Amino acid sequence: MSFRNPMIAYIGIPAVLAFLAVLLFYAFKKKQGYSGGVRAANTALLRNLPEYRRLILRYRVLTGLLCASLVTGMLACIVLLSRPSKTQTISSGVRKRDIFLCLDVSYSIYALNYDLVDTLEEVVAGLSGDRFGVSIYNTSTVLYVPMTDDYDFVISKLEELKEYFSLQQEYMEKFGEYEYISDIPEAEQDRYFEIEEKLNFMEAGTLTNNRRKGSSLIGEGLASCLFNFPRLEDSKRTRIIIMATDNDQQEIANPIIELSEAADLCRGHDVTVFGVFPEKEQFDSQQAQGDYDQCMEDMRANIEKTGGVFYVAGTDLSVPEIVKNIEQHEAMAVNSVRVTRLTDQPQVPMLVLLFSLLCSGVCALLLKM
């Protein structure tokens, strides 16, 4: 405990105590001799009466309490004017991260994306101090959720993504085998158009120039996500990207940036990337241009160069286990953020002052009765 205005305390408290000592001295001196007034003889009988002695005792107790409460109130006022303060070291938490979920929303990994988003909902609900964002891409990138700590908003947007991936699954399972709309049974065409309308709305912005550029441009998706971090050059927060893709890039024109170049950019900006890759059964080998093992090893090498960990989702390692491992890994790397503050501590002297005023007021009323 310290005072912001110590001179008030250094001068005021001794002055009050000195004033109290002078009052006590004169009060004691006054009792020692006759100081005037009409003398009365034979008062011993009166003074020995029980009622008289009770009243004198009551008077002295109330007078003593009144004086003590007034002095205590004066001391409390001096302490308040001196501004008692306390130096506090406040820990703002060990989990100060910016987390971006970077999703390849091509139709080849809708099951993996759904599981990942569903698991991350629980993670987001338990965050405190971390910020979270979502970037989705196919041919082009959409900043679906800007970096924020509004967790309710993030969860609502993750729910929308779950619905989107469910629609992708229904679309592929019910209508993926039809080459033309006319091939779809008439009874199912209404549902087809309903799903297509919703999918077109969700995919707006992710397929810009796809007929010229192709789809699943992995490097561009990762690089775009990287530069969505706020204050990328000077941020003191730990930054990570959780990236889900099958790494099957189906470009037509040369991409602006390849995955290896995007990984180098992440490493250069101290952004750690964790990769989530589908198991072989989820890899669409008929539609894929690349080989499963080749796509997996290429992604693994680029993820690990950022300092992150590469995971293959499957029977040996489920998506919830992957997310749990990412949380544990990153939590160990984050330092505690501490801030030292000087805060006022008026609570105790304020309570003393209020109690003193209340006590003196009650004593004064009782003395008049």
Q: Which residues lie closer than 8 Å to 4 by C-beta, 6 or more apart?
A: 82, 83, 85, 342, 344
304/289 Cα distance (integer angstroms): 24
Q: Based on the domain organization, do 131 and 58 belong to the same domain?
A: no
- Does residue 335 register a pLDDT over 80? no
Longest dimension (CA), the chain: 130
239 assigned to some structural domain = yes
Q: Which residues lie closer than 8 Å to 307 by C-beta, 6 or more apart?
A: 267, 272
What is the predicted pLDDT for the residue at 336? 54
Q: What's the pLDDT tens digit per position in 249-303? A: 888 989 999 999 999 999 999 899 999 998 877 676 556 677 888 999 999 999 9
What is the predicted pLDDT for the residue at 164? 92
38 assigned to some structural domain = no
81 assigned to some structural domain = yes
Whether 311 contacts 322, CB under 8 Å: yes
CATH code (residue 193): 3.40.50.410
114/109 Cα distance (integer angstroms): 9
Hey, what amino acid is at 142? V
Q: Based on the domain organization, do 137 and 280 belong to the same domain?
A: yes
92/230 Cα distance (integer angstroms): 20
pTM of the model: 0.63
> For residues 79-92, b (16+ Cβ closer than 10 Å) or e, as one string?
bbebbbbeeeeeee
118 assigned to some structural domain = yes
DSSP letter, residue 94: S
Pair of tokens at residue 38: 């009409």
Q: Which residues lie closer than 8 Å to 217 by C-beta, 6 or more apart?
A: 137, 138, 139, 140, 249, 251, 255
Q: Which residues lie closer than 8 Å to 9 by C-beta, 6 or more apart?
A: 3, 78, 79, 82
- Does residue 224 register a pLDDT over 90? yes
39 assigned to some structural domain = no
Q: Based on the domain organization, do 281 and 313 belong to the same domain?
A: yes
215/217 Cα distance (integer angstroms): 6
253 assigned to some structural domain = yes
Q: What domain count does the chain have? A: 2
Q: Based on the domain organization, do 119 and 80 belong to the same domain?
A: no
93/230 Cα distance (integer angstroms): 20
Q: Based on the domain organization, do 184 and 221 belong to the same domain?
A: yes
Q: Give ∠ CA 36-37-39 in degrees, rounded to 5.
A: 105
Boundaries of domain holding 353: 2-32+44-88+345-368
Task: Pick the more confident residue, 102 or 94.
Answer: 102
Q: Based on the domain organization, do 332 and 349 belong to the same domain?
A: no
99/239 Cα distance (integer angstroms): 6
Q: What SS3 class is residue 312?
A: strand
37 assigned to some structural domain = no
- Does residue 146 register a pLDDT over 60? yes
Q: Based on the domain organization, do 70 and 198 belong to the same domain?
A: no
351 assigned to some structural domain = yes
Q: Based on the domain organization, do 82 and 105 belong to the same domain?
A: no
Q: Based on the domain organization, do 325 and 183 belong to the same domain?
A: yes
* Least confident interval from 114-123, 136-145, 225-234, 275-284: 275-284
* Least confident interval from 36-45, 109-118, 276-285: 36-45
Q: Kind and range of the H or E element at 180? A: none
Q: Based on the domain organization, do 65 and 191 belong to the same domain?
A: no
Residues β-bridged to residue 338: 91
The average pLDDT across 1-27 equals: 83
> For residues 21-56, b (16+ Cβ closer than 10 Å) or e, as one string?
eeeeeeeeeeeeeeeeeeeeeeeeeeeeeeeeeeee
What is the secondary structure of 124-142 as a DSSP string? HHT-SS-EEEEEEESSSEE
Q: Based on the domain organization, do 53 and 114 belong to the same domain?
A: no
Q: What's the pLDDT tens digit per position in 342-358? A: 788 888 889 988 998 89
Q: Based on the domain organization, do 69 and 207 belong to the same domain?
A: no
Give the end-to-end CA distance of the chain in Å, rounded to a whole number.
Answer: 43
Whether 204 contacts 124, CB under 8 Å: no
Q: What SS3 class is residue 145?
A: strand
